[in-house]
């Protein structure tokens, strides 16, 4: 599998863990050796792995948290670092997200996630319906 394919696979695993509310899968996706950060929509930056996993535990454990679908993902590989730009669809609203990955022991691991709202849906929002991957 190409690096781009492997990064997209890791990105899809992130959204599958999100959709399944699988905290252990989420834990396995985040880097352990590299610095990690996370910015949930409307939140301040979280700069500590334990605090990031606590935030995911709270989000995934909340039965009122809506499902999140990933749409329109593109990956860019820069050596041992890669990033994915995508749209998240939550209850019909679109967010734009950046997921930064680093290669640790041959596997792509999340080092940063940031999502924020879009004022308008993306131009191609109606072309391909978002889905769980």
Predicted local confidence at residue 107, as pLDDT: 98
Render pLDDT for 72-120 as a digit per residue (tens, 0 to 9).
999 999 999 999 999 999 988 999 999 999 999 999 999 999 999 998 8
pLDDT tens-digit profile of 2-59?
Answer: 999 999 999 999 999 999 999 999 999 999 999 999 999 999 999 999 999 999 999 9
> What is the C-alpha to C-alpha distance for residues 14 and 100, in angstroms, rounded to an integer?
12
- Residue 42's φ and ψ, nearest 5 degrees, are 80, 0
Whether 110 contacts 99, CB under 8 Å: yes
Q: Is the pLDDT of residue 129 over 70?
A: no
pLDDT for res 120: 85
Q: What are phi and psi of 26, to 5 degrees?
A: -60, -45
Alpha-helical segments (H) within the chain: 3-20, 23-29, 49-61
3-class secondary-structure state, position 31: coil
Contact (Cβ atoms closer than 8 angstroms) between residue 18 and residue 68: yes
- Residue range 3-117, CATH number: 3.10.450.50
Pair 7, 108: CB distance under 8 Å: yes
Q: What is the pTM of this model?
A: 0.90
């Amino acid at each position: 599998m190409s690096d781009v394919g492997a990064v997209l696979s890791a990105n899809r695993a992130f959204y599958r863990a999100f959709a399944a509310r699988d905290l252990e899968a989420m834990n396995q996706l985040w880097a352990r050796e590299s610095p990690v950060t996370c910015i949930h929509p409307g939140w301040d930056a979280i700069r500590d792995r334990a605090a990031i996993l606590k935030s995911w535990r709270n989000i995934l454990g909340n039965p009122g948290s809506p499902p999140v679908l990933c749409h329109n993902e593109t990956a860019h590989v820069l050596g041992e670092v890669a990033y994915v730009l995508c749209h998240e669809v939550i209850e019909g609203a679109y967010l734009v997200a950046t997921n930064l990955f680093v290669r640790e022991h041959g596997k792509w691991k999340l080092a940063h996630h940031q999502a924020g709202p879009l004022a308008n849906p993306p131009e191609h929002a109606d072309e391909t319906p978002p889905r769980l991957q």
